């Protein structure tokens, strides 16, 4: 269980320590007082990046660094970011330096916030980010392949951009071939794990949705693959060289993938009511928590002002299905459907 959160120069907090004494903590206060900032700091400390801003935007005005310290019974996570003499982040577990890839997933975190409702309607990049956020915490190998893939993609795109600006067609050379192989190797693993994850979470979403909603829907979650194997991806990337060169970008690979959620074979974004989407989001979150059940540490659930978006029935279901996890809630008032013991922190 997370026992305390200590913040220095983070958002609106110069020096703030919060003790967590119960499995459920409710943080209340007026809008814009800093409730979400506390949840964000926990998310940053556990996941190593914010769900809504870059590190440089998290530093309190005129300061040169921020620090987050999260204390557990047998571990202390310290996240430090500075802009001087150049931007740098460091992470320590019990005073020992560690890397981002080693830290992510040590203590899993699941976030439910109002913007989650955009998952089904905005661009594919939001859905790729959703997959990455969960798979980074579930699979260390996925993190490693993602780092390699993103670095190689930047290098290949930089070369493509230079070629386009030169105004001359450049045939693929040895360096491009090396990039292509790296993209194919890491990209195929990323695609494979995303597809497996979608296949794993879909029946869980269906079961939870049936529990939440009185109106039964056949829910399908279809992943749009960019490749079926490493060899397939390599061939596609190499065969698309002339097109990539003309636009100055790599157009094929996991960075272009997407998934779609269907209600009775119709896209959710076109077919579902707002109430059905809320039920679907709850089903997604319950399914995410279930997938972390085999983790060394149980996930921490962060609920940011979501009770105002849910009717009484869905509030009760949310509380019931999250009772076995440490849950930190922000709200303008104490939700009336919280029936178990909880710690109340009021920000003034």
Kindly give the pairing relationship between strand 258-263 and strand 219-224: antiparallel
Q: pLDDT per residue over 212-247, tens digit each?
A: 887 678 999 999 999 999 999 999 999 999 999 999
Q: Decide: helix, strand or coil at residue 25.
A: strand
Which pLDDT tens digit goes with each residue over 15-74? 999 999 999 999 999 999 999 999 999 999 999 999 999 999 999 998 999 999 999 999
- For residues 6 and 68, the answer to whether their CB atoms sit within 8 Å is yes
CATH number of 128-294: 1.20.1050.90
The CATH H-level superfamily of 1-108+296-348 is P-loop containing nucleotide triphosphate hydrolases (3.40.50.300)
Query: Is the confidence at residue 318, as pLDDT, over 90?
Result: no
For residue 215, the model assigns a pLDDT of 67
Does an H or E element contain 157, and which? helix 140-166
- Number of helices (H), then strands (E), belonging to the chain: the values are 10, 14
Contact 201, 221 (CB under 8 A): yes
* Cα angle value 142/145/150 (rounded, 5°): 120
What secondary structure letter does DSSP report for 168?
Answer: S
What residue has token string 């269980």? 1
Spatial separation of the C-alpha atoms in residues 180 and 172, rounded to whole Å:
10
pLDDT in tens, 57-92: 999 998 999 999 999 999 999 999 999 999 999 999
Q: How many whole angstroms separate alpha carbon 340 and alpha carbon 338?
A: 6
Asked whether residue 339 carries a pLDDT value surpassing 70, the answer given is: no
Q: In the chain, what are the domain boundaries? A: 1-108+296-348, 128-294
């Amino acid at each position: 269980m997370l026992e305390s959160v200590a913040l220095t120069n983070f958002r609106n907090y110069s020096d703030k320590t919060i003790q967590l004494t119960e499995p459920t903590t409710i943080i209340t206060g007026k809008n814009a007082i800093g409730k979400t900032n506390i949840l964000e700091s926990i998310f940053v400390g556990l996941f190593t990046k914010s769900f809504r801003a870059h590190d440089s935007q998290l530093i309190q005005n005129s300061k040169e660094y921020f620090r987050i310290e999260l204390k557990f019974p047998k571990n202390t996570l310290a996240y430090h970011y500075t802009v001087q003499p150049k931007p740098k982040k460091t992470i320590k577990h019990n005073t020992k330096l560690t890397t981002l890839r080693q830290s992510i997933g040590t203590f899993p975190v699941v976030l439910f916030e109002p913007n989650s409702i955009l998952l089904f309607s905005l661009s594919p990049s939001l859905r790729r980010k959703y997959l990455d956020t969960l798979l980074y915490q579930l699979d260390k190998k996925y993190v490693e392949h993602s780092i390699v893939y993103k670095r190689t993609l930047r290098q290949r795109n930089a070369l493509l951009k230079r070629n386009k600006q030169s105004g001359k067609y450049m045939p693929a050379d040895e360096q491009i071939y090396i990039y292509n192989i790296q993209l194919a190797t890491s990209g195929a693993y990323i695609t494979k794990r995303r597809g497996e994850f979608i296949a794993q979470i879909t029946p869980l979403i269906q079961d939870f949705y049936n529990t939440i909603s009185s109106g039964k829907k056949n829910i399908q979650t279809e992943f749009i693959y960019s490749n079926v194997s490493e060899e397939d991806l390599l061939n596609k990337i190499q065969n698309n060289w002339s097109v990539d060169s003309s636009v100055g970008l790599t157009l094929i690979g996991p960075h272009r993938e997407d998934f779609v959620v269907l209600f009775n074979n119709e896209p959710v974004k076109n077919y579902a009511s707002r109430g059905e989407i809320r039920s679907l989001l709850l089903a997604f979150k319950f399914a995410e928590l279930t997938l972390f059940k085999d983790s060394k540490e149980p996930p921490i659930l962060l609920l940011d002002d979501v009770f105002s978006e849910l009717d009484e029935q869905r509030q009760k279901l949310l509380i019931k299905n999250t009772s076995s996890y440490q849950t930190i809630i922000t709200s303008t008032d104490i939700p009336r459907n919280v029936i178990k013991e909880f710690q109340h922190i009021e920000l003034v």
